[in-house]
Amino acid sequence: MRYFAFLLPIALIGCQASTITVELTPSSEAQVNFEQQAIPEEEVIEQVQIPRSFSLTVPFAVQAPLGNWDDPYQEACEEASVIMVDYFLRQQVLSSDQANREILQLTNWEQSKNYTYDVSVDELAHIVEQYYHHTVRASTTVSAEAIMYEIAQGHPVIVPAAGRMLGNPYFSGDGPWYHMLVITGYDSHNFITNDPGTKRGEGFKYRHDVLINAIHDWTGVKEEIETGAKKMLIITQPSAS
């Protein structure tokens, strides 16, 4: 398998950031241009090698597993995304019936804790910690390279999105204002996703730029979703105690 390298800047708070440019579709080895501007001694620059393409086998569930798109299923993309990653971490098979039960149990629990149907990445992180007791990281370092790095480390990535910017032809109408999905892999042109917003969402591919541009966190107002911050959620197994 061919690998390409990029320089991943890890900067301490207050340090001046550096600029990284990675050519994702080179004719041979990827060409990396690293521009450095007064990098403090405290900043660590790490060279990372990742596969040119990579994918994880994550169980798929549409957010309406039995074809009923009434509430709570219409707004259950967050829950379906988390459930897919939970089953991946536990290496369990996820059937439609089981996905349906899991969504109902999780949405009922969320209602008992006063969560609304639409939640932000930070709120979802709290839900995962409380409900599943998994370890989570909500990151604002959102780029194609950062997502590829997580995938290559074996971590599916959950991202929030302005759904109508995705242009998925299988969405109903113009698509959801606010959406969440799981990134399970990548190649030189596309991210591979499990998109719970359509029954055809397993392994659905979005071009790198399309998905990155569409990533926006919940703002509280669906019509303003395109102003939301770029965030992503990484869920891992809890540490052994």
CATH of domain 55-236: 3.90.70.10
Q: pLDDT at position 240, please?
A: 53
Q: Phi and psi dihedrals of 159, rounded to 5?
A: -130, 145
- What is the residue type of 237? Q
Q: Is the pLDDT of residue 28 over 70?
A: no
* H or E element in which residue 103 lies: helix 96-112
> What's the CA gap between 145 and 54, in Å, rounded?
13
* CA nearest to 155, candidates 99, 226, 233, 96: 233
Q: Does pTM surpass 0.85?
A: no
pLDDT tens per residue across span 7-17? 454 333 333 33
pLDDT tens per residue across span 156-211? 999 999 999 999 999 999 999 999 999 999 999 999 999 999 999 999 999 999 99
Residues of CATH 3.90.70.10 domain(s) within the chain? 55-236
Q: 72: cis peptide before it, omega within 30°?
A: yes
Beta bridge partner(s), residue 215: 161
Percent of the chain's residues with pLDDT above 70: 79
pLDDT tens per residue across span 78-137? 999 999 999 999 999 999 999 999 999 999 999 999 998 899 999 999 999 999 999 999
Q: pLDDT at position 40, please?
A: 54
Q: pLDDT at position 229, please?
A: 97
